Structure 1
């Protein structure tokens, strides 16, 4: 049985980051809402309580039931978690005299504490809280302090229970990973055996056991998640997997042919479906972004369903769902507010009467890439930028025509190829071009022009939840702009988007 750490989530923006740090130590962990705690069986080696936007003094503050945990197994409270373990068990938490936010340095470190082994005296940590612990319960001992925060970390003397008011999971806590390793390996005794290779071995065996000799159909998109899911399934069931790759007419230039060719070289059984006419016909005259998404989702289901029914005796639909999608659907406050609906195959199981298999639903995006590398998938596929399901439909603001798609494909191709040629592609998490619904005055030769404007977008991110715009070199932007205007008829102005997420989103629609 796979040993694991359980993270109880109180709604912190950093909860997923705690999980990522633990997994980087090759220890498997799961995030669960604080009010839906899983059974503490023998596979659970320890529990981490996350931070929270709440104050422990709020009437509606999250109050977990720790009866089966505290004093019975290793427990670490982070920020809100630490304050809860103090306040609820007899200590006192009060509003900070000054808001404690940002970098701080430890002035006292008890290096005899197992949690703080190999942590230096003036280690930098990251504070982010409006409350502070002013009195600890009886039997709690301070093990770290900063200049302004007396109780930066503590231990319950008779238990393997710890708390810290700073965030070890963020990069600004320079020895945060060491502290988390001290907890999950030193205190909890985890063996660090959760690696990409072990995941492949375990998952392939589980898929063999679950699927047996059943037939499975998978919708490929050309993206990292569906590709890695396809290869995992192929390892498990071979010819019983059929992959369907639909060309919705909204892909990048030459992408349909290039991706099909890549898959064939990998030995996957892939059916390519040219459905450009169906999608563009249904989108004719539609400008509203959400309506576009819904149409694309519906037509995709219709096309995919028709192709899947040509395969005899299919029992399962495979999906490339990854862990952030799973967490989102069971979050503390229920599913988060929908910023925009996304094209996926969520409507298919009901329509096709299929069972669903999701071989990647335990992994974050960077872990999916590492698993792909462990299976020898080509780096050109693994390194591909994310691309939205609705494709260029949400990068063409306003109505969609075949002419606009062709124009934007050319612009996008010049931009993306330019990033690759200048060794910038791998420094960018996602990039693309937007066709704006405005025209701009320009001059070409001696003639006045009135043509289209395109916006270029490039961002850095870890998982798309937040993103910063990339400071691409001016010389590069100047050359790309010049190439686009000179080579793409109908465009006379190029702008570069310097908005971050939040408040902007990565896509424009």
Structure 2
């Protein structure tokens, strides 16, 4: 086992960001529900604990509390926001409601030299309605802000710390350094969580799980399923058969691109299944997003079960599930945050599943998946391919999904990505420099009146979405040049029959998600 940090999730939507920042330090960590059994956390042999934020107040009846075994372990502890408050409450300090809620940017000043915080002033991000009125015995105030007399506290001898701000978010510029000071400096964790070590461990786990039995892998052509397939192939070789399901919900030219990628680099033989009619029949008349995802998840599995029966006994299915899928779906093993949407390969899986799932990327973030893909030697074009949701165009085709509407959406999306590509905004260098991470078109069931060729039209609306992000857990809308947007709009209304209006989405995540459904 690599050196590890256990992160306790007290219900924060952004607890996974703490995990991602710790992984950026090349230190392994896992996120656990705050009330997970001690044995579950002990299994990773943690060098220390981080307590996340959360929506509760510590003085509420039944509020989540820090487990006693953590306090008895003698290991370092860092509480963040609610985590600081529950640590204070458990050790005899006092937490009370603030006279005014502190949300947004703030400036704190370190008032006592310490191993956790840099000296002087720093800009941080606050989000809390309670504050520390008195620190527990043995703790000293390390930093303060105008609204938080105890913006940070610490018992240096016991290696226990708390910060009222959120070091995990980008709005705290020095936050990563604070986490480094705790994880590496105070906990003594070695930064040995690298792509090479991830590959070694993932291959060993897949090989152990599959044994000598046959394995199917679900491929979509995206980076997640491709990296999962490459890892599985390295682990089990000829035991693996790759299956690509053309569900009729793909982007333009996708089927051909997937076939070319597998024939060129990925190794296992590829079986292509044409199931477009099956999926469209199942989706007929369905408009509710969660219903779409559940239907697609179940249909997806049933198609694979059918293919497995044709191939003989194949008990295992490899999926490219990654950590944000698990968190947003509020999967059973990570169920302290509210469900945002059901990912078809997590919460959308049907009961009575006949496969045993192999998910080598289940607790990796997108950037880690790409780093592993690079270490595996996969082509850059595959690693940096535009992300695409598992349910495909079904969650970009708002309202009922039909073959006709999908074709309209396909063409509009192709125009948008073509123009972005011509402008050099979709290449690897641009993305690594903070450029566009994801861009696509959405078809809205909103009809409006237009005029084309001196005649009245009454057609649907295409919405364009382009975002910048490092982790896909938070994102900002891309400030595209007006000239580019004008070209895209002109081409869509002229080339795509059925659209007479184009709009651009200028909403960040949160409050929106990147996808519309």
Tell me the TM-score normalised to structure 1 length: 0.90
Q: Indicate the larger mover: 465-474 or 192-201.
A: 465-474
| In structure 2, distance between residues paired with 1:394 and 1:103 | 34
Structure 2 partner of 1:176: 175
Structure 1 partner of 2:316: 316
What displacement does 1:234 show? Answer: 0.9
Tell me the TM-score normalised to structure 2 length: 0.89
Unaligned runs of 5+ in 2: none
Structure 2 partner of 1:220: 219
| In structure 1, distance between residues paired with 2:422 and 2:68 | 55
CA contact (8 A) 1:316 1:356 kept: yes
CA contact (8 A) 1:318 1:356 kept: yes
Structure 1 partner of 2:80: 78
CA contact (8 A) 1:8 1:37 kept: no
Structure 2 partner of 1:92: 94
| In structure 1, distance between residues paired with 2:335 and 2:499 | 46
**In structure 2, do the counterparts of structure 1 residues 58 and 307 end up closer, same or farther at CA, with 3 Å as the change threshold?**
same
| In structure 2, distance between residues paired with 1:127 and 1:295 | 40
Structure 1 partner of 2:416: 415
Tell me, yes or no, if structure 1 residue 207 matches structure 2 residue 215: no
How many residues align? The count is 505
Larger radius of gyration: 1
What displacement does 1:331 show? Answer: 6.6
What displacement does 1:314 show? Answer: 1.7
Instruction: Deviation per CA, 1:152-203: give whole Å up to 9, x if none.
Output: 2222254121222222222222222112111111111111001111111222
What displacement does 1:326 show? Answer: 4.2
**In structure 2, do the counterparts of structure 1 residues 394 and 11 end up closer, same or farther at CA, with 3 Å as the change threshold?**
closer
Structure 2 partner of 1:496: 504
What displacement does 1:343 show? Answer: 5.8
CA contact (8 A) 2:141 2:154 kept: yes
SS at match of 2:278: helix
Unaligned runs of 5+ in 1: none
SS at match of 2:161: strand
Instruction: Deviation per CA, 1:47-90: give whole Å up to 9, x if none.
Output: 11112211222223212222343461111112222222223222
Structure 1 partner of 2:486: 478
CA contact (8 A) 2:66 2:90 kept: no
Counting only pairs closer than 5 Å after superposition, residues 343-354 of structure 1 correspond to structure 2 as: 347=349, 350-352=352-354, 354=355
CA contact (8 A) 2:331 2:346 kept: no
| In structure 1, distance between residues paired with 2:285 and 2:94 | 62
Instruction: Deviation per CA, 1:409-465: give whole Å up to 9, x if none.
Output: 111111111112212234333332223334433333344434443222223345555
Structure 2 partner of 1:277: 277
SS at match of 2:451: strand
| In structure 2, distance between residues paired with 1:480 and 1:413 | 10
CA contact (8 A) 1:317 1:349 kept: no
Tell me, yes or no, if structure 1 residue 437 matches structure 2 residue 445: yes
| In structure 1, distance between residues paired with 2:167 and 2:87 | 17
Structure 1 partner of 2:246: 247
What displacement does 1:4 show? Answer: 0.7
**In structure 2, do the counterparts of structure 1 residues 76 and 446 end up closer, same or farther at CA, with 3 Å as the change threshold?**
closer
